[in-house]
């Protein structure tokens, strides 16, 4: 079956520093990847996505990098702020009708 893993369960970062959250996936046929942010008691919130025909995509303060060779996805957050504290999930689209989520990384921003 499909699996999506994350390298670290918790990441602590000083406010103002850059954060990098990593994700590995198993299915080389996956062609659509999404990062979600989940704050306590809330639903996953879309951050940024990337398709397999790209290796990098930038948003506001966030960048997603995709390395299809090693099946690795990362989310970079520039100048991390306290409001970035949350659990971050990568998700891959496994077929048209299904997204598989990773286990999540909790990002803690230290003042």
Closest approach, Cβ 61 to another protein, in A, equals 18
* Contacts (Cβ under 8 Å, ≥6 apart) of 44: 36, 37, 38, 89, 91, 101
Task: Kindly state the smallest distance separating residue 63's Cβ from another protein, in Å.
Answer: 17
Work out how close the CB of 16 gets to another protein at its nearest, in angstroms, rounded to a whole number: 29
Residue 43 in the binding site for another protein (CB under 8 A): yes
Which residue in 46, 67, 82, 110 binds another protein (CB under 8 A)? 46
Query: What count of other Cβ atoms lies within 10 Å of the Cβ of residue 99?
Result: 17
| Total H helices, total E strands in the chain | 0, 11
* Interface positions with another protein (CB under 8 A): 34, 36, 38, 42-46, 49, 89, 91, 95-104
């Amino acid at each position: 079956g499909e699996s999506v893993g994350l390298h670290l369960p918790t990441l602590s970062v000083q406010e103002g520093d850059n954060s990098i959250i990593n994700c590995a996936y198993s299915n080389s046929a996956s062609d659509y990847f999404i990062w979600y942010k989940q704050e306590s008691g809330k639903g996953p919130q879309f951050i940024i996505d990337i398709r397999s025909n790209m290796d990098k995509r930038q948003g506001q303060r966030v960048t997603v990098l995709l390395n299809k060779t090693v099946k690795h996805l990362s989310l970079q957050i520039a100048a991390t702020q306290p409001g970035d504290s949350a659990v971050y999930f990568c998700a891959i689209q496994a077929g048209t009708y299904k997204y598989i989520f990773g286990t999540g990384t909790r990002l803690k921003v230290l003042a």
